[in-house]
Amino acid sequence: MPQETNMQRTIPIIVCFIFGLFMLVQFFVPHHASISAYQTVLDWMQIIFVFTLLVGVISYAKLNAKKITRTQTGWGYNLIGLIGLAVMIILGLSMGTGEKTPFLWMFNNVQAPMQSTMFSLLAFFVASAAYRGFRARSWEAGLLLAVAIVVMLGRVPLGNFISHWIPDAANWILRTPSMAAKRGIYIGIGLGTISTSLRIILGIERTYLGRK
Amino acid sequence: MHTGTLIAAFLTLCIFSFLYKDNPFYKFAEHLLVGVSVGYVLVIALNTTLMPKLLNPVFKEGRFDYIIPGILGLFMLLRFFPKYAWLSRISIALIIGAGAGVAIPATLQAKIFAQMQATMINFASVDGIIVFAGIATTLAYFFFSKEHKGWFGTSARVGTWFLMIFFGATFGYTVMSRISLLIGRMQFLLGDFLHVIK
């Protein structure tokens, strides 16, 4: 690793401070020049974000290519991944992404079915995890279990078939006690976000710079 | 039968085969899914962001100020060259700093003031009082600067009950959403693919 100078850590901290302070102060300045500059910085962020995405894609391709060239165990699967990546990029960039394009066909017939099946698998794993973990060993665990059962039954016709009180109870739980805890968590997250953001802008939090 | 339906059904069954155990069909589908998803996200990002926000403004509209984010973006790619990798920190610093600056007022409005306002508006009802008590006790549970003893400990304990209700409701909702996805896949396999159901 090359020797690191102070400047290499100071410049990013200054950039972070300037842009952080500007975006914060801009909120309180409703002038059109300020709003325009704000929009420009948002565009800049999106552009840089695409390049960060590109870094991830290159890393993914490099990692897979390395395993293939070294013929490591399961290298064939890595080749499949790379082929999938290459096909999507070639189709998307050469023939567009609109309706009736091969790119969209790949999305509808390859990506979307696999993605939804992958998530639907979680139904089985959640059920088995619940069977093992949901033992009403304490009042809190029992409460969690009872609420989960009422909400699940309240969302399907079976709940209404048993009693119309079940959907009503499920709706009340979601609207009142569950909402209360959700708001409490939101307020906590909000306070945490604000304090962390301030630490970042003021240069106290520097973990994004990496290790020295 | 459409080729697309046949391929989608094969890939769906490949993924479901994991319910038996990890096997080559599942691994094939898993790696294909990752590769295709990465390619999809990249192409969409290039088409919706890089073209309209960088290449078109610079090359078609002559807005050369947009070269700056382009250069900062290229700095990100220098992460692959250890000697110049530090330059990518400048781009990261811009995203992190500007993101933090945007987050403070946005969070204050959406996560704190809006939540408090919604609580206050409905305060004059039994449900409103329960919600207020729930928020106060939930926050008490997450406040660790004071020992959870006495009346404060009791309110923190009540807070855990509200949290358990929230977790239970969220769990129930998550299970139902996964079940509905499973039903969707079963409808596809038995309807579109096998034509057993209509």
What percentage of chain A carries pLDDT values higher than 70?
Answer: 97
The residue of chain B with its CA nearest to that of A196 is B100
* Residue A85: closest CA among B3, B7, B42: B42
Mean pLDDT for the stretch of residues B77-106: 95
Distance CA A143, CA B99 (A): 39
CA distance A167 to chain B (A): 13
CA B34 to CA B31: how far, in whole Å?
5
Listed residue (A212, A153, A170) closest to A5, CA to CA:
A212
* Cβ–Cβ gap A209/B89 under 8 Å: yes
Q: How far apart are the C-alpha atoms of B108 and B136, rounded to whole Å?
A: 18
Distances (CA, A) of A3 to B83, B84, B160: 9, 11, 50
Kindly report the nearest CA distance between residue B104 and chain A, in angstroms.
5
Residue A66 DSSP class: H
User: Is the pLDDT reported for residue A129 higher than 90?
Assistant: no
Q: Is A3 a residue whose pLDDT tops 80?
A: no
CB contact under 8 A, A54 and B76: yes
pLDDT at A136 over 70: no
Please determine, for residue B81, whether its predicted confidence score (pLDDT) is greater than 70: yes
pLDDT at A210: 82
Instruction: Look at residue B144 in the predicted model and tell me its pLDDT.
Output: 92
* Residue B88 binned pLDDT confidence (cut-offs 50, 70, 90): very high
Question: pLDDT category, A1, cuts 50, 70, 90?
Answer: low
Structure tokens at A80: 């499949």
Look at A45 and B99 and tell me if their CB atoms are within 8 Å.
yes
Residue A34 near chain B (CB below 8 Å): no
| Confidence check: pLDDT of B143 > 70 | yes
- Overall average pLDDT of the B40-66 stretch: 94
Region A197-211: what's the mean pLDDT?
92
Task: Give the mean model confidence (pLDDT) for residues B95-120.
Answer: 93
Q: In the predicted model, what is the mean pLDDT of chain A?
A: 93
Query: How far is the alpha carbon of B115 from chain A, nearest alpha carbon, in Å?
Result: 6
Interface list for A 94-133 with B (CB within 8 A): 97, 103, 105-111, 113-124, 126-127, 130
In the DSSP assignment, the letter for residue B52 is: I
CA distance B49 to B31: 27
Give mean pLDDT, residues B10-22: 95
| Residue B198 confidence (pLDDT) | 76
Question: CA B15, CA B29: separation in Å to the nearest integer?
Answer: 6
Question: What is the model's pLDDT at position B120?
Answer: 87
- The minimal CB distance from A23 to the residues B45, B70, B102 is found for B102
**pLDDT band (50, 70, 90) for residue A137:** confident
CA distances for B48 relative to A49, B55, B57, angstroms: 12, 11, 13
Q: Would you state the pLDDT for residue B91? A: 96
Return the minimum-mean-pLDDT range out of A83-87, A208-212, B143-147, B166-170. Answer: A208-212
Tokens 């530090």 belong to B86
So what's the pLDDT on residue A123?
86
Q: Are A121 and B181 in contact (CB under 8 A)?
A: no
**Mean pLDDT over the full length of chain B:** 94
Lowest mean pLDDT among A132-136, A163-167, B68-72: A132-136
Q: Provide the chain A residues 39-58 that lie in CB contact (below 8 A) with chain B.
A: 40-58
Q: What is the pLDDT of residue A212?
A: 67
Residue of B14, B46, B92, B104 to mutate, testing the A interface (most A Cβ within 10 Å of its Cβ): B104
> Closest to B162 (Cβ–Cβ): which among A41, A177, A210?
A177
ipTM above 0.90, yes or no: no
